[in-house]
Amino acid sequence: MADKASENDVNTTDTISEPGRRAFLTTTGLTAVGAYAGMSIPFGDNLKALAQGMSESDIMAGKEGLILMNDRPLNAETPAHLLDDDVTPYEHFFVRNNGMVPDTALDMDAEGWTLTIDGEVDTPLELSLADLKEKFEVITQRLVLECGGNGRAFFTPGASGNQWTTGAVGCADWTGVRLSDVLNAAGIKDSAVYTAHYSNDPHLSGDPEKEAISRGAPIEKALAEGSMIAWEMNGAPIPAVHGFPLRVIIPGYPGSASQKFLTRIWIRDQEHDGAKMTGYSYRLPAYPVAPGTEVPEEDMVVMTEMPVKSLITHPQSGTQTPSGEATEVRGHAWAGSGDIDAVDVSIDFGATWTPAKLEPAKNKFAWQRFRADVTLPEAGYYEVWARATDKNGVAQPPVVPGWNPRGYGNNMQHRIAMIAT
């Protein structure tokens, strides 16, 4: 589905709590007016619809500096310089939705919430939040989430969808349980091939029979290190826009596999074919194609492991610095494999490279901090380029990699402008 871009600014100044606003508009306001008038309100449903609309527009409250890409569904990216924290705070974490945010999330109400595990299992499970917290070991992991279309804006010819540049990525501390522990408790059958994730987020059309998104992962990945079911983000309940009360996290894969508002994991005996798993959604050509090629649907394969990548987060692009003086350049590097071997930087358009100091990851699939001092030799315009290399020896390319119809997987070297005075 192609997303329509929006130029509207994100409003982060409204301090009215969303549950309070929704409760007033849909209950107190109508009740009070109806009682005062002593009669029914024929168009009361219109006010309720307005309340839902205001919920969607105000749900970005608390976000700072994000660039709104689309307002239906809500999608917003983060400028690179706002991603300098080792742990991305809520206010700077990008937003990617496929449907509407459900009322349960808007109200932050997990009363009666259950997660079903069924399909190719010996013992289907229905677990409450309390069950998850009491029956399984609780863990906290620092994990990168990145939209599969991050960097789409740089493909030529262009691809439909949100025109992400570099900011559809974040790295937070997630608290929950290992996905493997939960699935093993249900007893995975030998016939298990794929997980299928389901949620209660409404489809944009409002049709309750349609799913906004239902993706999954190979069973081997679901059972592997890092994959989890989370209920906290950075030490607090997962915020509404990020998936309250539960989300599955499949690190190293496109963020769409880390489904929000999780209600069910169906274990399947085939590759999942849910909403946005087929056609061109989150799929790449099975072979290299020339830019602009019309690739048959049957030649598209599911996108799995994300490519190696880095992002310069300091200084901000366009910064002025005295020539002949050292300036610290820093940022983060990550890979779908979870392992970074090196990061290098260049100030001469890639002619020569200088190794950056690479700090160890807190855990597998967390991004890694890199730092390097650069000295711009004389006054003028410069670009600082960053190049990460993973443990398999695969490095970021200097230009946009293999073109594909939906603009996925762009991991070209990040660069910022610097002006030497």
Query: What is the DSSP code string of 173-220?
Result: EEEEEEHHHHHHHH-B-TT--EEEEEE-PPPTT--TTS-S-----BHH
* pTM of the complete model: 0.87
**Residue 41, pLDDT score:** 57
Specify the higher pLDDT residue, 50 or 42: 42
Strands 194-199 and 262-268: antiparallel
Rounded Cα gap, residues 278 and 78, in angstroms: 28
CA dihedral sign, ordered 45, 50, 51, 55? positive
**Residue 29, pLDDT score:** 38
Residues 150-160: tens digit of each pLDDT: 999 999 999 98
**Residue 40, pLDDT score:** 59
Residues 333-352: tens digit of each pLDDT: 999 999 999 999 999 999 99
38 confidence band (pLDDT: 50, 70, 90): low
**Domains, the chain, ordered by start:** 1-61 (no CATH), 114-302 (3.90.420.10), 309-420 (2.60.40.650)
Whether residue 280 is predicted with pLDDT greater than 70 in this model: the reply is yes
Mean pLDDT (whole number) for 34-58? 49
